[in-house]
Each structure stands twice: as structure tokens, then as C-alpha cells.
Amino acid sequence: MSAGWDKRSYIRYITEGKVKIIFENETPAIDGELIDVSFTGFSASFTQTLPPEAIVQFSLFTNLMGSESVVGKARIRNVQEFKKYGTPVFRAGFEFIQIDKDVVLDLVNKIQIKICDEAKRRWQSRSSNLGPL
């Protein structure tokens, strides 16, 4: 197995949004940027490092869900540091441990619909530039 092998059983769907996490028995919330979502977890970027294996409460916010958020508990599975415009950023992978799976399925379905709509628009745009046949 290579070091970059992805152990997830489900597709990661890249999506934009915000994340708030709270460590058990602590405040305030830590804000992050949502990177992707799968049926079993999500990843997000933060401006501070996070401890792997810690349990957090989370809220995910994305335009696809309107004013609703996806909430639950997750375990931090991994944290990787990288530079963004010379500034350290920390990408963290989270595994859902307590969540309404129907809500996750709804979010994943909305992401899939968005992907299909964008592909259809690109195809229609290219087709209209072909001229008369």
C-alpha cells in the first residue's frame, strides 16, 4: 500500500461551506472552512492545529442546505499542516460518530444534483457553440 492510499469506502464530494467545532466540555467554537463531505465524514481547514482522535461536536453550514446546518459528533482522524499563501493551515479529517444519516444522505444528494446541473450547463454551453450541423 502506498502512503497516499485513501481508506474511505465512500466518495468525497468537494463542497464549499463553513464548519464550527467545539471540543467536549470546552468553549468557544473553532471556525473552519469545509473542504469535502462523504457519507462517513468530512474534512475542513483551520488556522490552528487540532489533536487527532479528539471528539468534537460540529455544525456544517453550506448554501445547499439553506438555513439548516448538519450537526453531530465526530472524531478527528488526521491533521495535516500545509501552507496557504505562506500561512500555516491545518486540514483535518473527521469521522462521524453521532449524526442523523438521513441528513447526511440529503446533503450528499444535493451535492450530486449540483454536480449534475453544472455538468449539464457545461455540455449545453459547448453544444450551443458548435453551430449548425
Confidence of residue 128 (pLDDT cuts 50, 70, 90): low
Q: What is d(CA 71, CA 100) in angstroms, rounded to the nearest whole number?
A: 8
Domains of the chain (ranges, CATH numbers): 13-127 (2.40.10.220)
Q: What is d(CA 23, CA 34) in angstroms, rounded to the nearest whole number?
A: 17
Please give the pLDDT value at position 120: 87
User: For residue range 91-117, what is the model confidence (pLDDT) as tens digits?
Assistant: 999 999 999 999 999 999 999 999 998
User: For residue range 13-38, what is the model confidence (pLDDT) as tens digits?
Assistant: 999 999 999 998 777 899 999 999 99
Q: What is d(CA 14, CA 65) in angstroms, rounded to the nearest whole number?
A: 15
Please give the pLDDT value at position 123: 83
Q: Give the per-residue SS3 of 52-69.
A: CCCEEEEEEECHHHCCCC
